[in-house]
Amino acid sequence: MEKPLKIQEEVKEHFQFRLVHVDKNSGARAGEIITPHGVIPTPVFMPVGTHAAVKALQPKMLEEMDTKIILSNTYHLHLSPGSDLVAKAGGLHKWMGWDRPILTDSGGFQVFSLQGNSITEEGSTFKDHKGKKILLTPETSIGIQQNLGSDIMMAFDECIPYPADRNYTKNSIDRTHRWLDRCIASWTNPKQALFGIIQGSIYDDYRSECIQEVCSRDLPGYAIGGVSVGEGPELMEKIVSYTAPLMPKDKPRYVMGVGNPEDLLMIWENGIDMSDCIIPTKFARGGTVFTNRGKIRIQHKNYRRDFFPLDPTLDDYVNKNFTRSYIKHLFDSNEILGAILVTQHNISFYKSLAERAREAILEDRFLEFKKEFLEGYMKKNQA
């Protein structure tokens, strides 16, 4: 196909991946993703801004924390306000006041997660929150993402549920590969990189088949999909540890929807560069704080007279200026500032974890870093 081959060459002028170093004792990698809106050191964790906003935070706060990239949701922005409006506003970056990289998902996860969906060769039909039927196809997904103007677009696929038998999985991945070619044929903006998604459920042979099919399209990057869908940590590790080493070494590797710190360390050890999840922000709004000594529930009575920072090992705005006692008071008083401060802290914690992992990779001590972190983090969580 002449047009896809042309676009795949043109995108290389705007999007590159540079592999900086591989830890000599593991598969962990440090790299750089170069986009039109900035350079992203890897490994990186991407905060989720579903509706073009990371809940509870201003874009300026994210910039002050030096957040490199955020993720927004194609399906939800299609429902409201509509991608045509965002395009008229100058694209997602201008509209939301964020001039750093943005990744948009394809809507494929909604195929998995929303009730009342049906999948055909054309695409997926499902009901929105008001009961209205929505048809999402490879062409409409790419069209929406191009209207949004994200730096990285995801191909439209089916996120295979767990459990799924071999027959279901085979039919699904074959259709996803056909959908991928339709995504490529609809891709017209070389300033936006298109990533393919590797599915295959828990079956090594189907994961291998997907790698061969998807990576034969020579796309700017690739993701592992269909994990963190209920299969549990042992099967997740089995899928990632099998799949990641078979992916191209010269392209970014992304695991979708993984966000527990222990799981991030596992995927990074296996050579993954990117991940995203709602966990740090969603948990923050409920009062769960991530620290280097495990998770804490800030509403617990023990913190009423605790005048230490949320995490004394971190030197950021929240930990330099506020105590556990004060933040517990904010939650007890139903003050929105509590959710803001814990969200800010959790994102800072995740960013610090990725930065420390990158430093360890560059110094060939990632496994030592992982062991030391988990010894503290995985002890019985605090109150």
User: Active site includes 204?
Assistant: no
Say if 94 falls within a structural domain: yes
Beta bridge partners of 71: 48, 103
Query: Are 291 and 251 in the same domain?
Result: no
Contacts of 92 (CB under 8 A, 6+ apart): 52, 72, 77, 86, 98, 102, 104, 148, 149, 150
Query: Are 355 and 370 in the same domain?
Result: yes
Condensed to tens digits (0 to 9), the pLDDT of residues 97-126 reads 999 999 999 988 877 777 668 999 999 998
Cβ burial 9-34 (10 Å sphere, 16+ → b, else e): eebeebbbbebeebbeebebbbbbbe
Structural domain total, the chain: 2
User: In the listed set 233, 251, 283, which residue is the last one of a domain according to the structure?
Assistant: 283
Query: Are 79 and 132 in the same domain?
Result: yes
User: Domain containing 221 — which CATH number?
Assistant: 3.20.20.105
Query: Are 155 and 254 in the same domain?
Result: yes
pLDDT over 50 at 189, yes or no? yes
pLDDT over 50 at 275, yes or no? yes
Is the backbone of residue 180 left (phi > 0), alpha (psi -120 to 50) or beta? Answer: alpha
CB 193 within 8 A of CB 35: yes
| CA gap 148, 219 in Å, rounded | 20
Say if 383 falls within a structural domain: no
User: Active site includes 105?
Assistant: yes
Could you say which of 105, 151, 273, 306 is catalytic?
A: 105
pLDDT over 60 at 333, yes or no? yes
User: In the listed set 283, 310, 341, which residue is the last one of a domain according to the structure?
Assistant: 283
Mean pLDDT of the chain: 95
CB 219 within 8 A of CB 251: yes
Confidence tier at 155 by pLDDT (50, 70, 90): very high
Beta strand 294-297 pairing with 102-104: unpaired
Say if 382 falls within a structural domain: no
Condensed to tens digits (0 to 9), the pLDDT of residues 71-95 reads 999 999 999 999 999 999 999 999 9
pLDDT recorded at residue 2: 42
Rounded percentage of the chain residues whose pLDDT exceeds 70: 97
Could you say which of 23, 151, 276, 316 is catalytic?
A: 276
CA dist 376 to 253, 293, 347, 373, Å?
A: 28, 5, 19, 5
CB 23 within 8 A of CB 361: yes
Query: Are 160 and 300 in the same domain?
Result: no
CB 186 within 8 A of CB 142: yes
Query: Are 274 and 297 in the same domain?
Result: no
Say if pTM beats, i.e. exceeds, 0.85: yes
pLDDT recorded at residue 108: 85
User: In the listed set 228, 256, 283, which residue is the last one of a domain according to the structure?
Assistant: 283
Confidence tier at 96 by pLDDT (50, 70, 90): very high
- Asked which of 5-14, 160-169, 228-237, 274-283 is least confident by mean pLDDT, the reply is 5-14
CB 251 within 8 A of CB 222: yes
Condensed to tens digits (0 to 9), the pLDDT of residues 29-75 reads 999 999 999 999 999 999 999 999 999 999 999 999 999 999 999 99
pLDDT recorded at residue 113: 77
CB 149 within 8 A of CB 83: no
pLDDT recorded at residue 317: 97
| CA gap 239, 227 in Å, rounded | 8
Query: Are 211 and 322 in the same domain?
Result: no
pLDDT over 80 at 3, yes or no? no
- Domain extent, residue 55, equals 2-283
- In this structure, the number of other CB atoms found within 10 A of the CB of residue 366 comes to 28
Alpha carbon distance, N-terminus to C-terminus of the chain: 59
Condensed to tens digits (0 to 9), the pLDDT of residues 349-366 reads 999 999 999 999 999 999
